[in-house]
Structure 1
């Protein structure tokens, strides 16, 4: 009699009309260097009609690792299959693999080792793109232990991470099936915030994000109202879990910049007046609740300006700014206070009729450094201040009170 051992990883694959991409996805699972006995695969066919279910069953019959195939009626989104798979998982960790993407051969072995070595609850493996643009800002350095406040991981909230299952079970975490898009952002942000540390494996391509030839990606489809639903849910989660202040503002950048702002980009120019009004109505409660100076100052000037005009419900001014940005025009730079302040002269700068505060156009140091001559002027200004400080110190030292 043999005693079954707990697998290290439960790989959960939700498949819907995934052919022929599913073939290479499964091949990447079969090619994993981790011992097959340490894996279990839970594959959920979400009502496919293109042979995806049959492909999964053929895979299950052929490979050495444990595979469970579940076939169900279409649920309408990725959350349902993931939740079904999560309910059947028994591994120490779970990994959510999209059926049209692929794993690097050593991905699971490396990620499990990283989580075990550092005792972390979430492990991010480097993502590369095939006909798609992956997130990039968080892969600069491998980090054994970090958190959502100390790194750029807030800009990768897709579900394709290694999660310690004990964490998910402890908090009853599941994907929100009421959201058509952004459900993974909600799940992953909650995991980041609840985790006892996050690891980033940046020196090996663990995950390949594949662009489908038919362009059928959930994140690219659906009504604009779904994006507002996603932003609303993520902002509420952050507000519920993080007290008001710098840390909350730091996280709020993500839904404002990635989810909300694109609704007021070039596509806004093509929207009807009715849609424009509706977008502003949907944005109003979000900006009233969560748009703060702490969020604003962390954005680039043109991003801050557009969101400020959204918050002020000024579509007539917003259109001018969006047209300017769409045309890829270079905003003029105005240096004041001996070069220590740089304003980007986007539309309506210092217009009395518009009434937009100067600070909205003020470049933070990171953005200002790109301006020709700024560094030299700023360095001279710093040198002048240092010399004045030295003179004051010398004067104080030489001063002798009368006897």
Structure 2
């Protein structure tokens, strides 16, 4: 009698592009805590690396025979396309995205498994730590050893998307790798936008809108490597536009829904739109372009805010005053007024 192989309960999806110096540590952080019984599958997608990452993948497959599934693109298509391809190939009931220069912290997968077995939520949210090669005192004082990703109840199963979206938008931590989701949430065409930046912010809320239940564990499960090539460290005008427009699709998806009638969600979403505006406008202030071009850019950023935010600029400013958030009030007022006539 032939026994069918165990269907994986978890798929860890790791896109690979020019990360030779980091990939082995990333993969080891997963496989060293995942059982060797087929219950956790690890997918790597080589997006046409040019730095020797492909050779590193071969070495890892030899080190852990049969434990890595390798996918490849025939041309470099970017992070969103890599994730989308792996989503289509994944077999696990749950999906965990992991960037190839980051790593899972010890005990993360067993802790996740306990929550899944006990509660079976549609989404599990975890915290993270910022991973620097040479952390300094100022980094510790900023709380980088433990960054919270959710503002809401923890250690208890919660229901409905309203509180989930409100708690995520309140912190602004919308990255894919701190949310483990049922694969069933990635239906109806929910995918990462190819060719765009700030893809996590544009996509994760859409996937989580379909979650009927969720569980927040306030423990760092991911070490997020801080290095110089990040999006925010290499901003361009195109990236600034993607940042300011990142929540447009969410607003469109929520239009007319009962969720968007929630005052707390309205404020949290408007606050995140204000953060996006401030970050994008800060780049416009420094960009090398003609005055006319920068005026047009600033107008576009304000238009994106107006289209994505459930609260108009004046209403958000009043909400900041009511909460006593004077620093936020000042930052948003300055950003919104920049280059306006």
- 1:183 aligned residue (178, 191, 199): 199
1:209 partnered with 2:210: no
Match for residue 255 of structure 1?
Answer: 273
For residues 297 and 143 of structure 1, the distance between their equivalents in structure 2, rounded to whole angstroms, comes to 34
Report the secondary structure of 2:84's partner residue: helix
User: Residues 34-75 of structure 1, C-alpha deviation per residue, up to 9 Å, x if partnerless?
Assistant: 454211111001111111112122222332663211232443
Match for residue 304 of structure 1?
Answer: 329
1:157 partnered with 2:182: no
For residues 89 and 22 of structure 1, the distance between their equivalents in structure 2, rounded to whole angstroms, comes to 20
Change (3 A) 1:281 1:76: farther
TM-score by length of 1: 0.68
- 1:145 aligned residue (139, 157, 173): 157
Match for residue 44 of structure 1?
Answer: 45
For residues 249 and 231 of structure 1, the distance between their equivalents in structure 2, rounded to whole angstroms, comes to 17
Match for residue 114 of structure 2?
Answer: 113
For residues 192 and 232 of structure 1, the distance between their equivalents in structure 2, rounded to whole angstroms, comes to 19
Match for residue 342 of structure 1?
Answer: none
1:241 partnered with 2:254: yes
Contact 1:17 1:52 in 2 (8 A): yes
For residues 123 and 173 of structure 1, the distance between their equivalents in structure 2, rounded to whole angstroms, comes to 18
* Greater CA drift, 76-85 or 59-68: 59-68
1:99-138 maps to which residues of 2 (within 5 A)? Answer: 99-131=100-132, 133=144, 135-136=147-148, 138=150
1:1-400 maps to which residues of 2 (within 5 A)? Answer: 1-63=2-64, 66-131=67-132, 133=144, 135-136=147-148, 138=150, 142-146=154-158, 147-149=163-165, 151-152=167-168, 154=170, 155-160=172-177, 161-169=179-187, 171-179=188-196, 181-203=197-219, 205-212=220-227, 215-243=228-256, 245=261, 246=263, 247-257=265-275, 259-265=276-282, 268=285, 273-289=291-307, 290=309, 291-292=311-312, 293-299=314-320, 300-308=325-333, 311=336, 315=340
Contact 2:169 2:269 in 1 (8 A): no
Change (3 A) 1:313 1:102: closer
How many pairs were matched up?
310
Contact 1:238 1:252 in 2 (8 A): no
Contact 2:11 2:40 in 1 (8 A): yes
For residues 147 and 25 of structure 2, the distance between their equivalents in structure 1, rounded to whole angstroms, comes to 22
Contact 2:277 2:336 in 1 (8 A): no
Contact 2:175 2:204 in 1 (8 A): yes
Contact 2:45 2:73 in 1 (8 A): yes
User: Residues 193-231 of structure 1, C-alpha deviation per residue, up to 9 Å, x if partnerless?
Assistant: 22112211113x21000123xx11234324133232233
Q: CA deviation at 1:103?
A: 0.3
Report the secondary structure of 2:247's partner residue: helix
Change (3 A) 1:192 1:60: same
Q: CA deviation at 1:152?
A: 4.4
Say what the alpha-carbon RMSD is for the aligned residues: 2.8
Contact 2:192 2:200 in 1 (8 A): yes
What runs of 5+ residues in structure 1 fail to find an aligned partner?
317-403
Larger radius of gyration: 1
Select the structure with the greater relative contact order (CA < 8 A; seq sep ≥ 6).
2
Contact 2:127 2:149 in 1 (8 A): no
For residues 37 and 225 of structure 1, the distance between their equivalents in structure 2, rounded to whole angstroms, comes to 42
TM-score by length of 2: 0.80
* Greater CA drift, 52-61 or 224-233: 224-233
